[in-house]
Amino acid sequence: MKAHTKETQATMTPDKALQFLKEGNQRFQQNLKANRNLLEQVNDTAEGQFPFATILSCIDSRVSAELVFDQGLGDIFSIRIAGNFINQDILGSMEFACKLAGTKLLVVLGHTSCGAVKGACDHARLGHLTTLINKIEPAVTAVKEPQDESLRNSKNLEFVDAVSEVNVKMAIDQIREQSKILSEMESDGEIAIVGAMYDISNGAVTFYE
């Protein structure tokens, strides 16, 4: 499989880009990797890159977007931060990727049993990590069940995963609210903005469409 070119990127639509990721995740789950020569792709992309999607995901070592979607060099922009939340620098990266570099799909990818979300559920405080966790805690508050405080912590994985899902959806809302550029591109049909959840137990990605 060759690296994407300006011509192949131009044929991409948001729907087609989403389908590419879905098919890649199916290959990943079945351990059927696409046939690609990474060194050849190094040469193919030496003078330019034409990715079709931008993915914001967690730094978790089990959730590499390139691997879980079976993509090669030059296929996707990968933005990673613990807890996959939004800030101005990440929005700037997304605006570059979509408006200037031509990607057609923007994905916010959370995952089950997220350590950053667990920290937010427990209201952990530790150095600079405190600032990071503060950005995720609104998602904890937004999840209303269970109401029993003894069950609203990292030991309750069902609660943790519910917070992770809300955190993804809140991130998407923030993208639309805080980036006029991305919001207008979505409204004009130039890009799609979607959320997704990766299951660390089986490798499956569920998209929120």
Domain limits, the chain: 6-208
Q: Is 60 annotated as a binding residue?
A: yes
* Residue 58 annotated as part of some ligand binding site: yes
- Mean pLDDT over 41-54 rounds to 84
Find out whether 4 is annotated in a ligand binding site: no
Are 99 and 185 contacting, i.e. CB atoms less than 8 angstroms apart?
A: yes
CA 128/CA 188 separation, integer angstroms? 39
Looking at 2.40.30.10, 1.20.58.100, 3.40.1050.10, 3.30.830.10, the CATH number of the domain 6-208 comes to 3.40.1050.10
Higher pLDDT, 38 or 164: 164
What residues pair up with 206 in beta bridges, in sequence order?
Answer: 197
Q: How far is CA 169 from CA 68, 94, 149, in A?
A: 20, 16, 23
The confidence score (pLDDT) of residue 72 equals 87
pLDDT band at 38 (very low <50, low <70, confident <90, very high): confident
Reply yes or no on whether the pLDDT at 6 is more than 90: no
**Mean pLDDT, residues 150-162:** 97
pLDDT at 201 over 90: yes
pLDDT, residue 16, reads 96
Please indicate if the annotation marks 98 as binding a ligand.
no
Decide the pairing of beta strands 205-208 and 192-198.
antiparallel
User: At 81, is the pLDDT very low, low, confident or very high (cuts 50, 70, 90)?
Assistant: very high
- Of the pLDDT bands very low, low, confident and very high (cuts 50, 70, 90), residue 63 is very high
Give yes or no for a contact between 108 and 165, defined as CB atoms under 8 angstroms apart.
no
- For the entire predicted model, the pTM comes to 0.94
Give the CA distances from residue 110 to residues 13, 34, 197, in Å, rounded to whole numbers and listed in that order: 23, 24, 5
